[in-house]
Amino acid sequence: MTARQQPKNLWIGRWGFVLAATGSAVGLGNIWKFPYMTGEYGGGAFVLVYLACILCIGIPAMMTEIAFGRRGRGSPIDAVKRVAQESGRGKIWSGFGWMSMLAGFMILSFYVVVAGWSLAYLWKALSGGLQGGSVDDMAAIFGANNANPLSLGAWSTLVTVVTMCIVGKGVQEGIERNMRWMMPGMVLLLLVMIVYAMFSGGFGEAVTFLFSFEVGKLSSAGLLAAMGHAFFTLSLSAGAIMAYGAYLPDNKSIARTTFTVAICDTLIALMAGLAIFPAIFANGMDPASGPGLIFMSLPLAFQQMPMGSVLQVIFFVMLSVAALTSAVSMIEATVAWLTERKGMSRKAAAWSSGIVLWLLSTLAMLSFNLGADWTLAGKNFFDWLDYLTSRWMMPLGGLGLCLMAGFLLRDEIFRDELRLARWQHALWLLMVRYVSPLGIVLIFIDALGVMSIDIGSQWPWFLAALVVITVLGEMLSPRVKQQFTG
Ligand code: PHE
């Protein structure tokens, strides 16, 4: 084994990594996207495939990312490069590190806009600006909120500044320290909302909606969306988890921490559903109202409930905190890279990346007002950032890292890092070599639109393809024997 890099920063607390990684994973994806996707793709059926995707694709990919980070002990670019070099491979492979870092940066530039909505809504909730009798009134409030570039820009700038302050303070003093109160605080607020929902009607319907599984409702679009969302919600292929993994002490188990983070993330997404849908059902609204669910339907629903105005404040505080803990993780890779490679201080690195980020996010913000018709192929700048990152860069990064770990790099590295029992290691390999890649290829086929995928009727073919590819792959792979004979 070659000498490992000496870590400069490590999480100090017992729960340091878990808190930070869960903070990264739990965000707008859980509280904004997951509920509306569940609403759109038919409730329980979507929840079930989503859980399967987390288990088969998300968890193995997260273990892989943390292993890369801890082995390489550096920003994703350097971590991937070092691990590749340790296996006698060229620098070129660090391209996947570059792509992850870039994806994190690009996601953050539109994420701060949505996080800005959340702060703006918190302010409106506090100052009584969320009044209206119908969904149309709420849509008008949402429209007015976006129409003014100055106020919209001010809110996203505020998010950027707070993020950079936290990151600039350093891994332990900034990130770890703040996560210690932000995460428990967020969960507490979510629990308050659920307890309220239990006693205020609509709870039973929400539970049925989320957990009753009807095979007929399972759509291919839902399955593909669930796969893509598994990456997004676990913060994979965006530099975040790998950058945090670089600070994971050697004695911690990667498998155990990964499961903890993935379980917390999933539980919080489901809890968000249990906090939001009861209000929607109690007021006879449509759960499938899309991205406007929490900004239009939910405020309207709250208005009609006792203590709704208090609840609304609680909800938007929680949402803002969740967004912030994720935002911090998206820029960590860039800041780590600037400090390690360009010799900058944490503060200088945070503020200089903050400025570039601010420029990019301003363009994203303008997509809602002045720049609404700056479109290319029907998508504005905001939509492009979202589309490129979640449909292409994250899956491509995931595919690259999984295949590298599965086929290209020395297996001892991963045995060393993951420290799994033999059968568990074989299972992990099966996932990163075949199951995740096939899933990701389906996402690409769908994004390219070259073939219409109907998993409902074609699933036996997909299963057969998976088996054939696995058997062929294992027969051709020189490592097979060594795998099972030790
Ligand atoms: N996982 C975060 C969420 O669910 C988003 C995120 C993506 C965070 C990529 C970091 C990196 O909102």
Q: What is the pLDDT of residues 63-77, one digit of tens each?
A: 999 999 999 999 999
- Kindly give the number of the ligand 1 atom that is closest to the alpha carbon of 265: 4
Q: Ligand 1, atom 10: nearest CA belongs to which residue?
A: 235
Label residue 50 by pLDDT band (50, 70, 90).
very high
- Would you say the C-alpha torsion 177, 183, 188, 193 has a positive or negative sign? positive
Residue whose CB lies within 8 A of the most ligand 1 atoms, among 329, 331, 334, 388, for a mutation test = 329
Euclidean distance between CA atoms 246 and 242, whole angstroms: 6
| Residue 133 clears pLDDT 80, i.e. is over it | no
Cα 388 to averaged position of ligand 1 atoms, centre (Å): 15
Cα 106 to averaged position of ligand 1 atoms, centre (Å): 12
Residue whose CB lies within 8 A of the most ligand 1 atoms, among 232, 318, 391, 393, for a mutation test = 232
- Kindly give the number of the ligand 1 atom that is closest to the alpha carbon of 234: 1
| Residue 107 clears pLDDT 50, i.e. is over it | yes
Give mean pLDDT, residues 168-183: 90
Cα 234 to averaged position of ligand 1 atoms, centre (Å): 6
- What distances in angstroms separate CA 416 from CA 419, 422, 430, 435, 436, one per listed residue? 6, 12, 18, 23, 22
308-339: buried (b, 16+ CB within 10 Å) or exposed (e) per residue?
Answer: bbebbbbbbbbbbbbbbbbbbbbbbbbbbbbb
| Residue 486 clears pLDDT 50, i.e. is over it | no
Label residue 480 by pLDDT band (50, 70, 90).
low
pLDDT at 222 (0 to 100): 84
| Residue 460 clears pLDDT 90, i.e. is over it | no
pLDDT at 7 (0 to 100): 67
Residue whose CB lies within 8 A of the most ligand 1 atoms, among 26, 34, 105, 235, for a mutation test = 235
Which of 201-210, 420-429, 449-458 ranks highest by mean pLDDT? 420-429
Euclidean distance between CA atoms 77 and 69, whole angstroms: 10
Q: Ligand 1, atom 6: nearest CA belongs to which residue?
A: 235
pLDDT at 213 (0 to 100): 76
Closest CA relative to residue 202, chosen from 130, 276, 292, 311:
276
Q: Ligand 1, atom 11: nearest CA belongs to which residue?
A: 235
Least confident interval from 4-8, 119-123, 178-182, 461-465: 4-8
Q: What is the average pLDDT score of the chain?
A: 89
The amino acid sitting at 450 is: V
Cα 21 to averaged position of ligand 1 atoms, centre (Å): 10
Euclidean distance between CA atoms 271 and 42, whole angstroms: 17
Label residue 2 by pLDDT band (50, 70, 90).
very low
Q: Are 279 and 206 in contact (CB under 8 A)?
A: no
Mention every residue, 6+ apart, whose C-beta is less than 8 A from residue 17: 11, 244, 245, 247, 248, 252, 257
Cα 465 to averaged position of ligand 1 atoms, centre (Å): 31
Cα 244 to averaged position of ligand 1 atoms, centre (Å): 13
- What's the number of CA atoms in the CB half-sphere (13 Å) around residue 202? 23
pLDDT at 121 (0 to 100): 95
DSSP 2: P
Residue whose CB lies within 8 A of the most ligand 1 atoms, among 179, 326, 388, 393, for a mutation test = 326
pLDDT at 479 (0 to 100): 58
pLDDT at 1 (0 to 100): 41
Label residue 456 by pLDDT band (50, 70, 90).
low
Label residue 6 by pLDDT band (50, 70, 90).
low
Could you tell me what percent of the chain has a pLDDT over 90?
60
Cα 79 to averaged position of ligand 1 atoms, centre (Å): 20
Ligand 1: residues with CB < 6 A are: 24-25, 27-30, 104, 107, 232-233, 235, 238, 240, 326, 329-330
Cα 26 to averaged position of ligand 1 atoms, centre (Å): 7
Neighbours of 298 (CB within 10 A): 28
Cα 439 to averaged position of ligand 1 atoms, centre (Å): 20
Q: Ligand 1, atom 9: nearest CA belongs to which residue?
A: 235
- Kindly give the number of the ligand 1 atom that is closest to the alpha carbon of 32: 12
| Residue 454 clears pLDDT 50, i.e. is over it | yes
- Kindly give the number of the ligand 1 atom that is closest to the alpha carbon of 28: 12
Higher pLDDT, 428 or 439: 428
| Residue 407 clears pLDDT 90, i.e. is over it | yes
Encoded tokens for 287: 């759960």
pLDDT at 485 (0 to 100): 47
Give mean pLDDT, residues 362-387: 89
Which of 126-130, 198-202, 263-267, 293-297 ranks highest by mean pLDDT? 263-267
